[in-house]
Amino acid sequence: MRTHHDLKNTLEAIDGRGYKAYKDLRGSYRFENFTLAVDHVQGDPFATPSRLRVELAHEVSQLPDWARSSKTRRVALADYLIRSFARAVRATVKGNRGSGKGGRIEIDTPHQEVIERSAARIHPNRIELRFFAGLPAFGRRVAGREALAMLLEEIPRLVERALLFENLNPDELRRQIETVEDAEHLRALLAERGAVAFVADGALLPRLSGADDRPMEAADALPFESPPELRVTVTLPNRGIVTGMELRRGVTLIVGGGYHGKSTLLRALERGVYNHVPGDGRELVITTAGAYKIRAEDGRSVERTCITPFIANLPRGGDTDAFRSQDASGSTSQAANIIEALEAGAGTLLIDEDTSATNFMIRDHRMQELIAAKQEPITPFVDKVRQLFDELGVSTVLVLGGSGDYFDVADEVIAMEEYRPRRVTDEARVIADRIRTERRSEGGREFGRRTARSPLPKSLDPSKGRHDAKTKSYGVSEIAFGRHSIDLQAVEQIVDSSQTRALADALLYARSIMDGERTVAEILHAVELAVEEGGLDVLSDRRPADLARFRPLELAAALNRLRTLRVNQTRAGGG
């Protein structure tokens, strides 16, 4: 292996030459305490910065064994080191050096969530950290001296400040690892206890703004306080005894007036599928991994999805057993979203009436009297939510402010009053008994048919121009897949653009294992297993530095929103 002296000699030799001379740097270099690898060199000073990687033996970093003794701890440690490196960059790096992006050093820095990322991996014998560096230039010529300062001075300082245990805050590191470990432990407890969510007493749910997911200042936000009837005590491995509100499996309604905190609670539960950094306020707001947000989505494409449990007998004989549309309505899109979520393994549905189609959610007695059932193809969700749980074991947490007809099918009703939850289940049942809805249940005694679908690989065409496979992501909400765009704006549990980039690569990986016979569920399982065993690197051959872990549910959402998708309905999926 070449050494840092060889790197210095190469930089001196190419100083002043055309920018493409930087290609000579590709490869690995041994420094005194670490290895620096140049995996990809940018084409010009204005292009995406070059991809670099450092590897550091545990004997050098001196990171303690307790910090990497389990998968959960290694993920938390890697996340901490990424944040440490980002802080060191802000404190150390000079900034722009010459033209374009020269001199920039960047790493895929997390937000509030702690998610497995390709930017850092903890191997049995070493740390691996991946980042981006803009190689300096004057015009389009190599700025050798600037590159020397960047690669041989700044990067070693960053490694020393960010990756050596002696320069880290051990209490802060331990707090992060133990916080994440407690969250994972609590998530596992939920399944054992027959629960879908837990909100700790003292949690801070409100965020700074709709565009800033950091916690609202404590002086302006009420800490969460569980209703006494729903308060439980759990014991966590690090924090010890914790109390909070437990939501049991079944049908839970969150009700109350406008601006009293219903949607704030639901949004916290949506994000509860992820672990959070210390100080976020939602460290112990935990939801089961299979909880999935459902909403109406006007205009989305739907491909041969059996929505008959919710919509049947369409005018002019439309086929709802294999419903297909390039412009689904609010009700048909919401029906498809639920069926697709079940196909992808969702165990809990999270629904807010504010983002739902009204005619999908309820049809009251007066409307039933005016419009006969045979003239209405939609079976409202109120008539299916109970069957979802009783037959399929799928729970629902539903935010409501406008329909008391759901009182008849609810297991728990929680009222939000000035951001304080109050259990009103008994009152709701008394009201349901005293004021009968008189509406007739629709849609039959069983949930209804479901079918499995097998994607056809030819319908996933990632080619564009000279490229056999061209994918690109834009923020958290869009993937360019070949010539086609996938709109993910309504997939609200994608929280990081790095997840979207990973989903784009995962679609290519999924395509490679499709054979027209494997079902969506089987494909999702295969991708999840591959990532679990091999890390995010299995999705790409380019040593990605900016991917983050996603759930099978989000991969299914991306696949189902590709407008060219074609499937075969292969066999019964239940019902």
pLDDT tens, residue by residue, 539-567: 998 899 999 999 999 999 999 999 999 99
Query: pLDDT band for position 259 (50/70/90)?
Result: confident
Q: Per-residue b/e over 528-562, b at no fewer than 16 CB within 10 Å?
A: bebbeeebbebbbeeebbbbbbbbbbbbbbbbbbb
CA-CA-CA-CA torsion for 361, 388, 339, 114, nearest 10 degrees? 100
> Cα 305 vs. chain centroid, distance in angstroms?
24
CB 274 within 8 A of CB 114: yes
Determine the pLDDT at residue 96.
82
Which of 397-401, 462-466, 485-489, 570-574 has the weakest average pLDDT?
A: 570-574
What pLDDT score does 572 carry?
A: 53
pLDDT at 468: 86
Residue 570 predicted with pLDDT over 80 = no
Write out pLDDT tens, residues 276-331: 999 999 999 999 999 999 999 999 999 999 999 999 988 876 789 999 999 999 99
pLDDT reading at 475 higher than 60: yes
Determine contact, residues 69/174, Cβ cutoff 8 Å.
Answer: no
The span from the CA of 448 to the CA of 383, in Å, is 12
Q: What percent of the chain has pLDDT over 70?
A: 99
β-strand 126-133 against 137-138: which pairing, if any? unpaired
Instruction: Kindly report which listed range (205-209, 286-290, 298-302, 478-482) carries the lowest average pLDDT score.
Output: 205-209
| Rounded CA separation 221/203 (Å) | 10
pLDDT at 575: 45
pLDDT tens digits, one per residue of 213-253 = 999 987 888 999 999 999 999 999 999 999 999 999 999 99
Distance CA 122, CA 77 (A): 8
pLDDT for 97: 84
Question: How high is the pLDDT of residue 220?
Answer: 82
Determine the pLDDT at residue 466: 83
Contact 288, 198 (CB under 8 A): no
Secondary structure (3-state) at 37: strand
pLDDT at 201 over 60: yes
Specify the pLDDT at position 465: 84
**Mean pLDDT value of segment 520-528:** 98
Write down the mean pLDDT value for the chain. 95
Q: What pLDDT is stored for residue 313 in this prediction?
A: 84
What per-residue confidence (pLDDT) applies to 2?
Answer: 96
Dihedral sign from CA coordinates of 111, 71, 268, 290: positive
Cα separation of 480 and 470, whole Å? 8
Q: Are 214 and 110 in contact (CB under 8 A)?
A: no
Residue 571's pLDDT band (cuts 50, 70, 90): low
Tokens of 52: 């670099």
